[in-house]
Amino acid sequence: MKKRIIFVFLLFVFLGVTFFCAKKVSELNKTDVVALLENINQSPLAVEIKVEESGINIERGKGRSQYLITLINPEVSFSTAVYKHLDMKVPEFRVPVNMGNMVMAYTPSKKNLTLKSVGKMKCTLALSELLPELEVKKAGTDKEPPEVTFNYSLGNAELEGYDLSSLIDTGGKSFEDVLTEFISSNKNIKVRADGFAAGFVIKGEQGGTVSFSIKGMESSSQFEPELFKAFIQKQDSAEILSGALKKKAPLVDVTASFNGMDFILSLPGKEIQAGYEGAGFFYSLKPSRHGDAFDFVSGWDLKSVRAEGIP
């Protein structure tokens, strides 16, 4: 009888602990998500993700500790100021990106955050607004420089291996350290995208438009992060290349396929349309069979091409 009482007591304790743990796991709320995004916004990579609490949806993901976080109409932007850390002379401006939705998988206990998909992405950049010096008239003339606007949009994209965990807690870390961690955790990425379109609109005496659209795309990329880390931290890459040869690891391996692409060039009194169906390409930089050098291999295929309006 005594053993039965102990057994029942331990059973209740076990059920109580299980319920308590389950309750603790389900505590992720919209306020936590806002705080998570604020941490990302403070990273040296100058990426900002903002959204109203009403635009945050939280669902269970794989396992009891993972969540799927959906952001509705988030405001996403990044600053080109980060390029100065790489000694690249790029004008500083913030690039805004409008999105219909963004889905992330988050495991709080492991501080693991991955980007799963994005949808209805749009961006419009007026170069004269981003680069005020373009507004200056040409010396000795009364002509205004042409107004150039860049547009791009994306219907939807699904991603595998796009890890944002390195941006969650970057307190005290340098730009180089955070970028190195980010690159190391994103060495294998797969993307499936549809509805991509981009183009330039040029207004002026000889203005026109250039646009292209991609019907569907799949790509995968793999690279050796140590080589990029050496570039970022300005280290000698000879030892890294030697190590890659020994372990027979590819430095770069990229493949991509497209269902089709349309291209339109519109000029005063003239329009050129072109496109292709079923295209793909690949390139890689891998150790040779003997392991004493790297071989560069590339290739492409194309099913059909069409063009109209070419003189």
Q: Quote the percentage of the chain above a pLDDT of 70.
A: 84
Q: Count H helices, E strands: the chain?
A: 6, 13
| pTM recorded for the entire structure | 0.79
Residue 228's pLDDT is what?
75
Maximum Cα interatomic distance, the chain, rounded to a whole number of Å: 105
Q: Taking 80 as the threshold, does the pLDDT of residue 138 lie above it?
A: no
Residue 6's pLDDT is what?
44
Residue 190's pLDDT is what?
95
CB-side neighbour CA atoms (13 Å) of 105: 16
Sorting pLDDT into bands at 50, 70 and 90, what band is 243? Answer: confident
Q: Taking 70 as the threshold, does the pLDDT of residue 205 lie above it?
A: no
Residue 130's pLDDT is what?
66
Q: Which of 258, 147, 154 is nearest to 209 (CA)?
A: 147
Residue 271's pLDDT is what?
87
Q: Give the integer Cα–Cα distance in Å for 212 and 216.
A: 13
Least confident of 24-28, 130-134, 152-156, 207-211: 130-134
| Residue bearing the bigger pLDDT, 146 or 136 | 146
3-state secondary structure of 305: strand
At residue 39, φ and ψ (nearest 5 deg) are -65, -40
Contacts of 23 (CB under 8 A, 6+ apart): none
Tens of pLDDT along 268-305? Answer: 888 889 888 888 999 998 888 887 888 899 998 888 88
Is residue 147 within 8 Å of residue 202, measured between CB atoms? Answer: yes
| DSSP code, position 163 | B
Q: Taking 60 as the threshold, does the pLDDT of residue 104 lie above it?
A: yes
Q: Quote the percentage of the chain above a pLDDT of 90.
A: 38
Q: What number is the average pLDDT over the span 2-25?
A: 44
Cα separation values, 25 from 19, 67, 194, Å: 10, 10, 35
Based on the number of CB atoms within 10 Å of its own CB, is 261 exposed (0-12), middle (13-18) or buried (19 or more)?
middle
